[in-house]
């Protein structure tokens, strides 16, 4: 089989590729370092390692049988076309613990008003000491938290929250999978989970069903609650988020995933068309929840294990349900 790597390749990837080449000498593992334009090899590829694939490239990939996404999200693939052709799509959950850690860090930052108070002190201002502003902050100790999405990241978030004696309400679409460890109650609906919680974590994939799930109606019922999003920006209605933060319905939000991203042509860009960056009750992160050295290595390790499983058993470690799109 010919495996073509369209993703970025670093030194750790090179170590793992050497391992694959030695173990599976009858197969080919080709990167952009091996070929001036690995995209030209798409037509010959049995498997691609990438998280992004335009439809026109898919049409060129006549022999394609599998795609290995070296991270969790698959929303940048032409999933309907892949389903029609019966192509296996495997994603990656190796970074779950790292992303969960980031989610907790974001929650502590927004509930603790860390960024706001830091920015004031950076101006030489001591809130509450040289003025009469309320500088109290919200402790998560013993609070009830909702986790919408109980994949590996959501379950890891629940585990960490238990260190703060939090009560954890979980919501997952498929209730037949049961209640994971560290989740106290499995809610019948995401609205029920939100209603009873002080902090809401979004850890679900972006699908047709979840796009815009947290809309103006949901946010109106989140008075004085905190929202943490480490899944995908489009799960929250963009304007409704801005309005809920600006008018004080939401106590605060901490967000790692957005609506607008920079490019080489436009390297400076705000994450939303609404000025959320001007609000004091938001903590912003540039979609880097998994980008630690450990997180990157864990994702590479799991991708390699999934390729091994595919070669040896005909199936990867994880296979995306193309009907559910996650």
Distance CA 168, CA 143 (A): 9
Examine the domain organization and report whether 168 and 214 are in the same domain. Answer: yes
CB 250 within 8 A of CB 225: yes
Residue with tokens 């390749």: 9
Examine the domain organization and report whether 137 and 155 are in the same domain. Answer: yes
* Count: domains in the chain: 2
Domain, as residue range, for 236: 96-284
> 3-class SS at 186?
strand
Q: What is the pLDDT along the chain (326 residues), one digit of tens a residue?
A: 999 999 999 999 999 999 999 999 999 999 988 877 767 889 999 999 999 999 999 999 999 999 999 999 999 999 999 999 999 999 999 999 999 999 999 999 999 999 999 999 999 999 999 899 999 999 999 999 999 999 999 999 999 999 999 999 999 988 888 899 999 999 999 999 999 999 999 999 999 999 999 999 999 999 999 999 999 999 999 999 999 999 999 999 999 999 999 999 999 999 999 999 999 999 999 999 999 999 999 999 999 999 999 999 999 999 999 998 89
Distance CA 312, CA 197 (A): 45
CB 106 within 8 A of CB 256: yes
Examine the domain organization and report whether 23 and 147 are in the same domain. Answer: no
Examine the domain organization and report whether 100 and 88 are in the same domain. Answer: no
In a domain, 274, yes or no: yes
Examine the domain organization and report whether 189 and 87 are in the same domain. Answer: no
Examine the domain organization and report whether 54 and 113 are in the same domain. Answer: no
pLDDT at 194: 98
Examine the domain organization and report whether 301 and 271 are in the same domain. Answer: no
CATH of the domain at 227: 3.40.50.720
**212: left (phi > 0), else alpha (psi -120 to 50), else beta?**
left
Examine the domain organization and report whether 248 and 305 are in the same domain. Answer: no
Q: What DSSP letter does each residue of 52-120 carry, written as one string? A: ---HHHHHH-TT--EEE-SSS--TTS-HHHHHHHT-EEE---TTHHHHHHHHHHHHHHHHTTHHHHHHH
Distance CA 33, CA 133 (A): 57
The whole-model pTM stands at 0.93
Examine the domain organization and report whether 66 and 123 are in the same domain. Answer: no
In a domain, 71, yes or no: yes
Which residues touch 73 (CB under 8 Å, ≥6 apart)? 51, 91, 205, 206, 232
In a domain, 171, yes or no: yes
In a domain, 323, yes or no: no
pLDDT at 38: 67
What's the farthest any 2 CA atoms get from each other in the chain? 73
Encode pLDDT of 187-237 as tens digits: 999 999 999 999 999 999 999 999 999 999 999 999 999 999 999 999 999
How many Cβ atoms are within 10 Å of 28's Cβ, its own excluded? 17
In a domain, 324, yes or no: no
In a domain, 202, yes or no: yes
Examine the domain organization and report whether 88 and 139 are in the same domain. Answer: no
In a domain, 325, yes or no: no
Examine the domain organization and report whether 72 and 171 are in the same domain. Answer: no
In a domain, 133, yes or no: yes
What sign results for the dihedral spanned by CA atoms 38, 260, 302, 48? negative
Examine the domain organization and report whether 88 and 101 are in the same domain. Answer: no
């Amino acid at each position: 089989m010919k495996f073509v790597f369209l993703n970025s390749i670093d030194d750790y990837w090179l170590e793992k590729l050497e391992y694959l080449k030695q173990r599976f000498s009858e197969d080919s593992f080709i990167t952009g370092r091996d070929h001036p334009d690995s995209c030209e090899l798409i037509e010959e590829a049995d498997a691609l390692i990438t998280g992004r694939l335009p439809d026109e490239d898919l049409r060129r990939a006549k022999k394609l049988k599998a795609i290995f996404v070296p991270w969790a999200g698959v929303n940048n693939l032409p999933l309907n076309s892949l389903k029609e052709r019966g192509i296996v799509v495997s994603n990656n959950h190796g970074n779950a613990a790292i992303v969960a850690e980031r989610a907790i860090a974001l929650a502590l930052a927004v509930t603790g008003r860390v960024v706001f108070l830091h920015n004031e002190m950076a101006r030489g201002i001591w809130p509450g000491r040289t003025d009469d502003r309320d500088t109290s902050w919200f402790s998560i100790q013993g609070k009830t938290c909702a986790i919408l999405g109980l994949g590996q990241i959501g379950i890891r978030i629940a585990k960490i929250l238990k260190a703060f004696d939090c009560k954890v309400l979980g919501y997952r679409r498929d209730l037949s999978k049961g209640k994971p460890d560290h989740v106290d109650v499995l809610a019948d609906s995401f609205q029920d989970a939100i209603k009873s919680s002080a902090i809401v974590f979004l850890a679900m994939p972006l699908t047709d069903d979840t796009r815009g799930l947290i809309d103006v109606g949901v946010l109106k019922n989140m008075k004085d609650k905190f929202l943490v999003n480490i899944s995908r920006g489009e799960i929250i209605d963009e304007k409704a988020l801005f309005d809920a933060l600006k008018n004080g319905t939401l106590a605060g939000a901490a967000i790692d995933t957005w609506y607008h991203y920079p490019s080489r042509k436009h390297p400076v860009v705000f994450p939303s068309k609404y000025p959320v960056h001007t609000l004091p009750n938001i903590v912003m992160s540039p979609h880097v929840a998994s980008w630690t050295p450990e997180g990157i290595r864990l994702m590479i390790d799991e991708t390699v294990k999934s390729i091994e499983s595919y070669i040896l058993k005909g199936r990867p470690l994880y296979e995306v349900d193309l009907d559910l799109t996650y």
